[in-house]
Amino acid sequence: MKSTVLRIAFGILLLPTVISCSSEQTIDRPIGLTPTAGHASPQQVQAVYRPDLFPEQVKLPFSESVGEPLEEGGPSASAHLVRSFALPDSQAEVRIYSDAGAASSLTAYLKGAKSEWKLGPLPAGGENPDQTWFNPLPFISGEASGVSIEVPFGSIGSQNGLLVYNKQTDSWQVADFQGHRAVPLDLDGDGVPEWVGNQTDWVPPAVEIHRWVPERERFESTVVQMDASLFPDADNHTPSYSSLFAEEGTYFMEIGNDAFYAFFTYDQGVLKQYRPADTRDRVDEMQRARGKH
């Protein structure tokens, strides 16, 4: 009997330790990002600047930017039209309606030449005519027209996004940045902005880039998480993180892993190695400033 009591007491003493160890192994990861195996944090030891392990330039793989699928149909007969935004050089419009009996409940619809689609709910305040929610994209022309959305929208509550209407097919494309926010930045100075999500809170951090491809009349995107096929000469040290910085008017990315890193600029879908005078590990510095080490 005495030995049984001792075993129970010993087990109770160990329980907080077991719970503590289990909680330390749980890492919150963002939806849509596949972490690199074995990298609980971007850098657990001090990495070394090794540009010789990385190529001078490499072409990024892009695929079509997509969003949540649209639901075909228009507003109810009792819904009230609050405001509309016409896309340039087309018959397309973004229309905002308030639901009957709920003035603060707003829904956006996309109207084409002969079609109508539900974009989804919008936040209250759309009745304010001075509030700019939609901005035309003048670099989109020909059969396509484009507009950026600067407010949360849709069923998943996207922070902002992009709409493209094709006049010939009477169809829409929606890029919702997977629910997080991206900002327009002209990374390569060609006069056409890219929409960039610099996800510094992700584990590991990552840069997401959306660009307009005129020959395909669509936005395409990539996440700058390098793999071995893009860095064949990196001695099997596959890069696992990327982060965007702006210094002295230059946008550049630090790309690396626990052991090595280098810097790159972006030029129309191609990463080109960049050698700043100051080669300190900025990602490690950023993580330490946030108390993550």
Contact call for residues 180 and 197 (beta carbons, < 8 A)? yes
Question: What average pLDDT does the segment 236-245 reach?
Answer: 86
DSSP H helical segments within the chain, as ranges? 2-24, 282-289
pLDDT at 278: 97
For 149-173, the pLDDT digits (tens) are 999 999 888 999 999 999 999 999 9
Average pLDDT, the chain: 82
Question: Residue 293: is it exposed, middle or buried by C-beta count within 10 angstroms (0-12/13-18/19+)?
Answer: exposed
21's CB contacts (< 8 A; 6+ apart) are none
Query: Does residue 10 sit in helix, strand or coil?
Result: helix
Residue 234 CA to residue 50 CA, distance in Å, equals 10
pLDDT given at position 69: 92
pLDDT at position 11: 40
Nearest to 68 by CA among 144, 141, 153, 165: 153
| Helix-strand-coil split of the chain, %, nearest 5 | 15, 40, 50
The number of C-alpha atoms within 13 Å of 1 and in the hemisphere containing its C-beta is 0
User: Mean pLDDT over residues 98-126, rounded?
Assistant: 85
pLDDT, tens digit, 9 for 90 and up, residues 251-290? 999 999 889 999 999 999 999 999 999 999 999 999 898 8
Q: Is residue 222 pLDDT above 70, yes or no?
A: yes
Confidence grade of residue 8 (pLDDT, cut at 50, 70, 90): very low
Residues 6+ apart with CB under 8 A from 79: 97, 98, 99, 100, 107
CB 124 within 8 A of CB 102: no
Q: What pLDDT was estimated at residue 10?
A: 35
In which band, very low, low, confident or very high, does the pLDDT at 46 lie, cut at 50, 70 and 90?
confident
Q: CA–CA separation, 14 vs 26, rounded Å?
A: 20
CA distance 96 to 49: 51
**pLDDT the model gives residue 12:** 35
Which of 40-49, 82-91, 263-272 has the highest average model confidence (pLDDT)? 263-272
Q: What's residue 225's pLDDT?
A: 78
State the average pLDDT over residues 90-100. Answer: 90
CA nearest neighbour of 53 among 248, 268, 273, 285: 273
